[in-house]
Structure 1
């Protein structure tokens, strides 16, 4: 029986207990891996690579003839050259549906924080305004309920559906624009233009592809309601960040909550990093990272590796 060699390129990206696969193997893990040269050196002679965010492109794959499987410790596979893997017979498996609670909860938290002006009112208290108020409460920033408002979802996969379920529990109307028809009773399907024009909050739940890159730019932001919010817990490249910074600064839309940026970790000149606005919340790609979700991901990751070794791979992308 062949003994597999397994290398985890960025183990520090996963804070969870990671059991070892139940078959003969060697195991090596690295806190993080930077650059093509280091990636190739660490995967030399390896049959199974585990990566969360370390890219494996044609340049690396061409130097790794022993590689048989790439186990992605995430759902997104844009870091992997999938056509090159298919051509070389490399199996790529990802993690699916592990974040059905954590990402939707984070999405709703961003909506609630912005609609209820939590950041603005916290800043007021820190500035001493409540302490100086002539009334028992402090006004100054308009508060809006989620109930009765329209949530527009771009994308209706597992996460989009879970967000819709939570939104409906808050009394929101949910409208969806999806690339394929939705066979589900009660779903309001709308065109992209109608979703932009009629939604009080727009939430993105799409993969990053050549077709979806920068799908929200200056023109799309201008078609949104001035009172609308834009939420992105999917991929940073879905939105033109310079256009969003300009729209928030000029009041084209009312606010935005983001958990992702086009480059991570972000470059210092990213225009969203410079915003100091109470109507913009940026979190450091943590929507997926509840303790419960990371442990489920870790367990599913090894399930994928074990299934590959048995000759019956699951969650296959290629």
Structure 2
């Protein structure tokens, strides 16, 4: 078995070399961030499997990738970049990796929550332009954080938030229990959360899950934090809620178009804090991620 790391950018090539072991399958590494669909057949020719960090793999382009049997996607959100079922029909199995970045994403979620609560991004931007802005922040001790979906990341968020003196509510599509977390129905979660943190997987059932109707059920003045997938939230409804003040703030790490285009409407709103899909980017998480990917490759 011979593999190709398709898009080893953002220091991932160095991490890959650090965690690779002599017994791993032979692999070549491409240190490019942008690969067009028409390039894929030529780049992938001769390889049995690929590691994919963020490159889109359209089904039509992949039809011409004869010999490829496996895609190891570096994360859980493969559906944002490919259609696993359609690739399976082509004889290509898509593997995803869970759990590698639970702590990293949870810490980033908490960081976004506090930044939103205290208006840090707005003050920082103003001071860089010579203005002395003071925002009226909100204290989160004693407030309620609601976790929309409850997997490994949400469990870490619950641990940190509970330790910060917050009440933790959660809703999950299947029954779960966790120490220090009260599981409630969806309407209760929306109505009682001062902070709503999104932790659902994206699929056909959850796309647009936070609709205008559901956003309207949020406690007025709530903070929305999304480190999961942008498509889980109705973008137009979110913008309307931000403009009206029904949402106090949105702190976002994920977007429908990435990189976020210059001048995007989200960059124009003062009650939005943005980060560049980087919640999972820590040295610790990257090392674990790539070692787990190589372990999958060893088992193919």
Secondary structure (helix, strand or coil) at the match of 1:174 reads strand
Which has the larger helix fraction? 2
Correspondent of 1:6 among 3, 16, 28: 3
Q: Which residue number in structure 2 is paired with residue 95 of structure 1?
A: 97
Match of 1:187 among 177, 181, 185: 181
2:166 aligned partner: 172
**Equivalent in the alignment of 1:261:** 255
2:279 to 287, 290, 303: 287
Q: Kindly indicate whether residue 114 of structure 2 is the aligned counterpart of residue 112 of structure 1.
A: yes
Q: Distance in 1 between matches of 2:4 and 2:193?
A: 45
| Equivalent in the alignment of 1:299 | 291
Alpha-carbon distance, 1:142 to partner: 3.0
Distance 2:138 2:233 in 1: 25
Q: How many residues get paired?
A: 294
Q: CA deviation at 1:242?
A: 2.7
What is the DSSP-based 3-state SS (H/G/I as helix, E as strand, rest coil) of the residue aligned with 1:75? coil
1:252 maps to 2:246: yes
Distance 1:268 1:121 in 2: 21
Structure 2 alignment gaps of length 5 or more: none
Using the TM superposition, give the Cα deviation of residue 292 of structure 1 relative to its aligned residue in structure 2, in angstroms. Answer: 1.8
Aligned partners of 2:150 and 2:172 also within 8 Å: yes
Task: Give the structure-1-normalised TM-score.
Answer: 0.84
8 Å contact kept, 2:144–2:195:
yes
**Equivalent residues in 2 for 1:188-203 (5 A)?**
188-203=182-197
Pick closer, same or farther for the CA change 1:147–1:80 going to 2, 3 Å. same
Q: CA RMSD in A?
A: 2.3
Q: Distance in 2 between matches of 1:120 and 1:272?
A: 13
**Which TM-score applies when normalising by structure 2?**
0.89
- Rg larger in 1 or in 2? 1
Q: Which residue of 15, 18, 23 maps to 1:17?
A: 15
Q: Which residue of 1 aligns with 2:67?
A: 66
Question: Could you say if the C-alpha distance between residues 82 and 149 of structure 1 is closer, same or farther in structure 2, counting changes exceeding 3 Å?
Answer: same
Task: List, as ranges, runs of 4+ consecutive aligned residues in structure 1 with deviation greater than 4 Å.
Answer: 120-130
